[in-house]
């Protein structure tokens, strides 16, 4: 879905729902997942609607994911780190 503009950057490995993926230095969880083509970052409590990145600057709290076991972390404000465990609540 999305492309990287300078893919030569150093790679790091993040784990998304138990599967290893490649990310780049300087990624947030949101930019890493977008580059992997994953747009759905959570499903809402009430209507079970998909949500993803919206404001991209930490204002809207719509891109919430579980990071290293801690729920409700803003994907757009969380820097991707080597070995980071990200869980996306998809259903």
Partner 1 sequence: MVIVGAGPAGLAAAIEARRLGVDVLVIDEYARAGGQFYKQPAYPLTDQQRHTLPPQVKEGMQLAARAASMGVKFWFESQVWGLFPGLRLGVVRGSISTEVVAQRLIIACGAHERCIAFPGWTLPGVITPGAAQTLIKAHSVLPGRRTIVAGSGPFLLAVAAQLLKTGAEVVTYVEAAPWSWATLSRFTTHPSRWGELARYVWPLLRARIAPRLRTAVIAAHGKTALSAVTLASLDSHGRPMPETKRQIEVDTLAVGYGFRPSCELTTLAGCAHQFSETAGGRYCVVDRDTGETNVEGVYAAGEVTGIGGARAAFQEGRIAGLSVASSLKHWDDEASQRLHDTRLRRRREQKFADLVSCTFAPPLGLAEFITDNTVICRCEEVSGRAVREAVTAGAHTATAIKMWTRCGMGRCQGRMCGWSIGRYVAALTGSNVESIGISQPRIPIKPVKLQHVLATNPD
The Cα 43–Cα 21 span in angstroms is 21
Q: Token pair for residue 33? A: 């997942």
Site for partner 1 contains 1 (CB under 8 A): yes
Q: Give the residue, chosen from 22, 59, 68, 82, that forms a contact with partner 1 under the rule CB under 8 A.
A: 59
Site for partner 1 contains 51 (CB under 8 A): yes
Site for partner 1 contains 87 (CB under 8 A): no
Q: Give the residue, chosen from 12, 14, 16, 41, that forms a contact with partner 1 under the rule CB under 8 A.
A: 41
Q: Which residues contact 77 (CB under 8 A, 6 or more apart)?
A: 28, 58
> Contact letters (x/-) for partner 1, 11-30, by CB under 8 A?
-------------xxxxx--
Q: Which residues contact 47 (CB under 8 A, 6 or more apart)?
A: none
What's the burial of 78, exposed, middle or buried (CB within 10 Å: 0-12/13-18/19+)? buried
Interface residue list for partner 1 (CB under 8 A): 1-6, 9-10, 24-28, 31, 34-35, 39-41, 44-47, 49-62, 72, 76-77, 79
């Amino acid at each position: 879905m999305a492309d990287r503009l300078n893919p030569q950057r150093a790679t790091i490995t993040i784990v998304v729902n138990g599967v290893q993926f490649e990310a780049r230095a300087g990624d947030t969880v949101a930019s890493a997942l977008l580059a992997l083509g994953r747009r759905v970052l959570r499903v809402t409590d009430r209507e079970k609607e998909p949500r993803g990145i919206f404001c991209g600057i930490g204002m809207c709290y719509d891109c919430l994911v579980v990071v290293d076991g801690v729920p409700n972390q803003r994907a757009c404000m969380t820097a991707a780190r080597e070995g980071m465990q990200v869980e996306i609540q998809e259903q």
